[in-house]
Structure 1
Amino acid sequence: MPDPDAAPVQSSLPIAAARFGERIVAACMEAGTEAGAEAGARPGLPGPPRVPVPAAKTAPPDEAAPANAPGGDLIARHVQDGTAEVRQLGPALERILRGPTGLGTAGLRLSGCEQSPVPVTPVEGTPIPGLYHHPVLPPDPARVEEVGRRIKTWAVDEVQAYPPEWEDQFDGFSVARYMVACHPDAPTTDHLMVAARLMVAENAVDDCYCEDHGGSPIGLGSRLLLAHTALDPLHTTKEYQPEWTASLQSDAPRRAYRSAMEYLLQHSTPSQADRFRHDMARLHLGYLAEAAWAETDTVPEVWEYLAMRQFNNFRPCPTITDTVGGYELPADLHARPAVQRVIALAGNATTIVNDLYSYTKELDSPGRHLNLPVVIAEREGMSDRDAYLKAVEVHNQLMHDFESEAAAVAAACPVPSLLRFLRGVAVWLDGNHYWHQTNTYRYSLPDFW
């Protein structure tokens, strides 16, 4: 079992990537003519820059990512399943999407990426018929057990995120299985705990401020603002600093946010931490839009609902995929509009998965819960069944768009850290679907087939 006190393994890639980041982007934009012709790419798609890649440090044997890590060469696989336009990019793109090769690049690939079979043993739960997704291998049970032990100790004993009467719900959420499935390339259990702590903290805010356990749209803005200062600290005068500091212990969401953020800062660069804060601000903005509709009993137009869901979604989770993986996608690469589009599409698609799997759970809850099938039924005059099936189609289109755009970005700028990040986000989507499908404690499907 991994040593809980062991220092996390840090890749040498972030330092080198940050140093060469601006030159990499420039090379990606300028070096496309020859490689683009070889790949049969669309006009303007640049080819790969010739940038030296330093050897990545590897984890100790007892902390190495499991050999049967799910996902494999996901972007290449997604291209095969994607649009005809992407498939026309040809063998050169397939070579690019397989990732870097040569001395020192093994750490940039997911373990077992040349052998990533679809699971041969059935998993719990039933996937939504017609939903476009990729099966994954079940997460490593040893890692699930260790993360589960640590996260419960943290949630219950350290930050008191949940009272004893919610223990069955905490266990039923299966956060350890969730995070191990979504981050198979995490080099250590400590890295997985970054994702696990943040996931529990985010759910504490959702439950206690917005949803099932005392949440309300009334006064939500002030609660979220004060909780956000646990992520993005208040800089005030000495007179008022002690009161703010004390407020961080005043309720479970703020205790969990503060502790989870402190842990993230131990494993991330300043740029990665600021990226996460930005995405959490997006999340909180989405919470407020949904709360405003609840206060006025408004059902938004479908496009308005999808706009809200682009903010109130899972984006903060896959955005830390490089932090959990022990490397860094440089800020100048992360900020490129094409990369931002890929990340947004990923967040949107994976959030509609939640809408679809939680549909019956929300119908059984008090009040009216907005989700995509409910909004489509109301605004487009469809039956519940037809609205649900149309929501499946919306999800599938978002997934296809994510995969084709990710493939185009990978072809345009095949920098090792960016290729690994794109694969990591794709893995996160697949792990998220796996968790929803298999979490029969929380979810069941409607009888529409």
Structure 2
Amino acid sequence: MPPSEPTPPQPSPPETHPRYGAQVLLDAAARARDIVALTGGPPGAPSPPATPPAPAPAPPPSDTPPAAASAPTTVPVPVPAQSTGFERVLRGPSGLGTAGLRLSPRPSHHPEPPAPAPAPPAAHGTPIPGLYHHPVPDPDPVRVEEVSRRIKSWALDEVSLYPDDWEEEFDGFSVGSYMVGCHPDAPTVDHLMIATRLMVAENAVDDCYCEDHGGSPIGLGERLLLAHTALDPLHTTREYSPDWEKSLHADAPRRAYRSAMEYFVRASSPSQADRFRHDMARLHMGYLAEAAWAQLDAVPEVWEYLAMRQFNNFRPCPTITDTVGGYELPADLHAQPAMQKVIALAGNATTIVNDLYSYTKELDAPGRHLNLPVVIAEREGLSDRDAYLKSVEVHNDLMHDFEEHAAALAADCPLPNVQRFLRGVAAWVDGNHHWHQNNTYRYSLPDFW
């Protein structure tokens, strides 16, 4: 394909919120390449001059799409003092028999993703005015077509996910475009399919258990718990195991969960699989909180709604970016509080994007759907317009916090897999917005401007 032409630079945000994004994470990695200097002496020791970086390997001929681009404006990131937690992880274990367990730099079996490509000349949909985001290129159409073909075959032939009259809605979701855009460093289409199956399965559970296609808050806890055993297997007696195994084929959501998780487990490490199960338990707990408010016909306080959204959100998607990328962020690094905060902020910001773009869709649906503008309007006595615009501000604050903490973490822990994971999460955030903005089949903007 011919290269995309760059767009004019986007307006810079206020100086108090510098734009970081994926490009600044790359910059932070480049400034901290000499990992030996970091791990070979006490915190604060002077570092020798960094060696010049090796030239980046050439990307595969056509299988690897360009990585997501971020805004052209970058701001230098100060390197904070080494945190106690990361100092311990970087130093590694001590004692007899632990020499081979140290977390030190080693050659990567996967090439680093290519440098960010320029932003596309124009988007197909209209971005929300005032919403802070990074324009990114359209996803690789060749990969989109292949992922779309494979996921439809899986949905129909392997798990019998939906009846014929749901086909238009399935196609309109454009999950192939979504996942290719969110995972620009996936080595192959097989890697992209790991995320795509899970995304479709999660949406099947949401639609069929909670939302549009027969969902109800009544009895939701039981349905979610039984579905969760498709992700986190039941270990019981021989007498009762056959009944549980049979139940995994009882409905479309459980069939989808079971199959998608089998593919994921084959591609991931035990640690990555357990991490995903934990994040899915978080998601299901968020579903239950929202269902409780629906049963009570209650509108939570704004802070309570945001607490629910930290669990009922997109977190399981960006947190598997290393599995989809064909590498692993070790459990000890993933569990660090600083990394957990970055992942949580990414999930929160991307989920408020969904609240904003799906606002009119949910207004047109039967019943009352809780989203951030609705909750702010109810709890703070604002007009629909003012509540929506305030929700845009909440999203922007979350985005700035995510980028600032991600950039600080990139500088604080310059291990290659940490750098790549943070870039992957940032690319997922950008790709998520791109899909919401451009999916005009599902979303339209309110007339507030």
User: Does the TM-score normalized on the shorter chain lie above 0.5?
Assistant: yes
Q: Is the 8 A contact 1:272 1:320 kept in 2?
A: yes
Q: Which residue of 1 aligns with 2:285?
A: 285
Distance 2:396 2:230 in 1: 36
Q: Which residue of 2 aligns with 1:33?
A: 44
Distance 1:304 1:296 in 2: 15
Distance 2:357 2:39 in 1: 40
2:69 to 68, 71, 74: 71
**3-state DSSP class of the match of 1:446?**
coil
Residue 112 (1) aligns with residue 99 (2): no
Q: Is the 8 A contact 1:286 1:311 kept in 2?
A: yes
Superposed CA offset, 1:148-199 (max 9, x none):
0000000011101111110000000000000000001100110000010000
Q: Which residue of 2 aligns with 1:98?
A: none
Q: Which residue of 2 aligns with 1:217?
A: 217
Shift of the 290–28 alpha-carbon distance from structure 1 to 2, 3 Å rule, reads farther
Q: Is the 8 A contact 1:59 1:187 kept in 2?
A: no
Q: Which amino acid aligns with 1:406?
A: A
After TM superposition, give the deviation of residue 61 of structure 1 in Å.
4.5
TM-score (norm 2): 0.81
**3-state DSSP class of the match of 2:225?**
helix
Q: Is the 8 A contact 1:108 1:420 kept in 2?
A: no
Q: Which amino acid aligns with 2:255?
A: R
- Pairing of 1:125-204 with structure 2 (within 5 A): 125-204=125-204
After TM superposition, give the deviation of residue 109 of structure 1 in Å.
2.9
Distance 1:105 1:253 in 2: 37
- Pairing of 1:308-319 with structure 2 (within 5 A): 308-319=308-319
Distance 1:400 1:201 in 2: 31
Distance 2:194 2:396 in 1: 30
Q: Is the 8 A contact 2:148 2:175 kept in 1?
A: yes
Q: What 5-or-longer segments of structure 2 have no aligned partner?
A: 1-34, 81-104
Q: Which residue of 2 aligns with 1:322?
A: 322
Q: Which residue of 1 aligns with 2:299?
A: 299
TM-score (norm 1): 0.81
Shift of the 59–243 alpha-carbon distance from structure 1 to 2, 3 Å rule, reads farther
Q: Is the 8 A contact 2:285 2:311 kept in 1?
A: yes
**3-state DSSP class of the match of 1:197?**
helix
- RMSD over equivalenced CA pairs, Å: 2.9
Q: Which residue of 1 aligns with 2:352?
A: 352
Q: Is the 8 A contact 1:357 1:436 kept in 2?
A: yes
Q: Is the 8 A contact 1:329 1:417 kept in 2?
A: yes
Fraction of identical pairs, as percent: 72
Shift of the 288–28 alpha-carbon distance from structure 1 to 2, 3 Å rule, reads farther
After TM superposition, give the deviation of residue 389 of structure 1 in Å.
0.5
Distance 1:30 1:305 in 2: 46
- Pairing of 1:209-288 with structure 2 (within 5 A): 209-288=209-288
Superposed CA offset, 1:120-143 (max 9, x none):
2x1211000000000000000000
Distance 1:60 1:360 in 2: 42
After TM superposition, give the deviation of residue 70 of structure 1 in Å.
2.4
After TM superposition, give the deviation of residue 32 of structure 1 in Å.
3.6
After TM superposition, give the deviation of residue 394 of structure 1 in Å.
0.4
Shift of the 31–388 alpha-carbon distance from structure 1 to 2, 3 Å rule, reads farther
Q: Is the 8 A contact 1:290 1:308 kept in 2?
A: yes
Superposed CA offset, 1:172-228 (max 9, x none):
000000000000110011000001000000000000000000000000000000000
Q: What 5-or-longer segments of structure 1 have no aligned partner?
A: 1-23, 39-47, 81-85, 91-101
Distance 2:276 2:73 in 1: 26
**3-state DSSP class of the match of 2:44?**
helix
Distance 1:163 1:29 in 2: 60
- Pairing of 1:369-448 with structure 2 (within 5 A): 369-448=369-448
**3-state DSSP class of the match of 2:235?**
coil
Distance 2:189 2:309 in 1: 31
Q: Which residue of 2 aligns with 1:41?
A: none
Q: Is the 8 A contact 2:187 2:325 kept in 1?
A: yes
Give the helix-richer structure, 1 or 2.
1
Runs of 4+ aligned structure 1 residues displaced above 2 Å come to 27-32, 34-38, 56-63, 68-72, 77-80, 86-90, 102-110
Q: Is the 8 A contact 2:77 2:407 kept in 1?
A: no
After TM superposition, give the deviation of residue 144 of structure 1 in Å.
0.3
Q: Which residue of 1 aligns with 2:88?
A: none
Distance 2:353 2:187 in 1: 28
Shift of the 403–28 alpha-carbon distance from structure 1 to 2, 3 Å rule, reads farther
Shift of the 257–35 alpha-carbon distance from structure 1 to 2, 3 Å rule, reads farther
Q: Which residue of 2 aligns with 1:5?
A: none
Shift of the 188–249 alpha-carbon distance from structure 1 to 2, 3 Å rule, reads same
Distance 1:436 1:281 in 2: 25
